[in-house]
Amino acid sequence: NVDTEGYTRQKVVLGTNPPNQPTRYSTRNYDVGTGVRIEDVVRTYSGMKESTLLSQLSDYNLHAQLANALPEVEALIQGDGDASLATCLSEFWTAWQDVAMNPDNMAMRNVLLEKAGALADQFNELATRLDNYTGGIADGAGPDFSGIVPTIADEINTMASEIQSLNQRITIATNQGVNANDLMDKRDTLIRSLSEKTNISVDADKTVTIDGQVLVSGDGTVLNELTVTSTSPITLAIDGVNVSITGGELGGWLQTAAITDTLRTDLDAMANELATQVNALHTTGYDLDGNLGVDFFTGTGADGIAVNALLYNGSNPLLNNPRLVAAAATLYDAGPPAVPNTGDGAIALAIADLCKTDIAALGDLTFSEYYTNLLTSLGTDIETEQALADNGESVINTLLTAIQSESGVNLDEEMIDMISAQRAFQAASRLVVTIDEMMDVIINQMG
């Protein structure tokens, strides 16, 4: 069993059989031994080390899952080159700068509308990506939830059912005085696998709980299911009571979903503030016809922001209306009729200057700084999780080595035991041979 996964070394405990005592008819005055019997088969098991291992397995799988998932999230929101939000934002500000320097240039105005449309589309795309990713973690409505989290919950319930069966069989065997060491090995292997999925606590009687709620009882009479009860936010419950999942692969996915939700909220804040700040200036300016400007952006949130359809047609640039871009802060003549100041680009310049304005709603950061800060924070989280996963793996390997040295099969010890048994057999054989030789001598002399 040196290579048998989950096998715990077992030792046979021997006891002396009652001796044959001399009787009144025997010629001897001493006891005659009748050999030994097996009194018990004991598992070499360290509950303390096993408990520590379960905790470390849960912790390691949490960080390993985050270390694997967060780079995917980073790729979703970072983009590359022309497809990045940072690039679209930079080109948007530059387009306003160009209009400020050439207020009556229709080509510049059209470029501005196209860059604004590209920026809004990028916000929409990032929102869709994050929503789809979060939906892949958990989506739907009860009881038909789908995604990774419900799948892992089903795996946990399957393991719990197997542990329940083993607990029942072990309880019956123990009550009947039957050895159940092999069943205990199987149960411990399952519990290890379960700890890789989520944070569990295991009592001395092998009752398994999650956040204080019983998943399976030590005697196997109680089995509760872990169920997904909501996807926004993702919540799980046992027997109707919400439980906090803070470890294992499941905990890693839940934290990943929480991070993507936070990023989604941050993108919404950025999109909303962009629309608010640009619209506040644009509606105070004048277009090429001398009319006050309309809202430049419509919609709310990263998924809803769009360039006003009065100005921009995303499907056909020929239907754009660049004359409605309110770049001027003044009229040449207030009229009536109002005469536009086509050489005035003050509003366009003010909007362009938003690129270097600290926005209170964004933590007194500029738009670019705010977005960069999101990426930097996420990158730091990735490095931290990777370091924690690497460290956790080392700790687990050390614990497994310690447990194996104590509870696993020791080939050197097995060899010594085998040689000892061989020598005992040789000694017993020699005794038989010696007696045979003595009997032979006696018989020959009598003959």
d(CA 383, CA 70): 10
Cβ–Cβ < 8 Å for 133, 76 = yes
Q: At what angle do helices 47-78 and 106-137 cross, to 10 degrees?
A: 160
Averages of pLDDT over each 10 residues, the chain, 447 residues: 72 83 76 81 81 95 97 89 88 98 96 97 96 94 90 97 97 91 92 96 95 96 96 94 97 97 97 98 97 97 97 93 97 90 96 97 96 95 97 93 75 77 86 88 80
Question: Nearest 5°: phi and psi at 365?
Answer: -115, 155
- Report helix, strand or coil for 195: helix
Cβ–Cβ < 8 Å for 290, 338 = yes
Q: Please compute Rg for the chain using Cα positions.
A: 39
> What number of other Cβ atoms are within 10 A of residue 414's Cβ?
13
pLDDT at 426: 87
The most distant pair of C-alpha atoms in the chain lies apart, rounded to whole Å, by: 155
CA 319 centroid distance within chain: 48
Give the predicted TM-score (pTM) of the model. 0.85
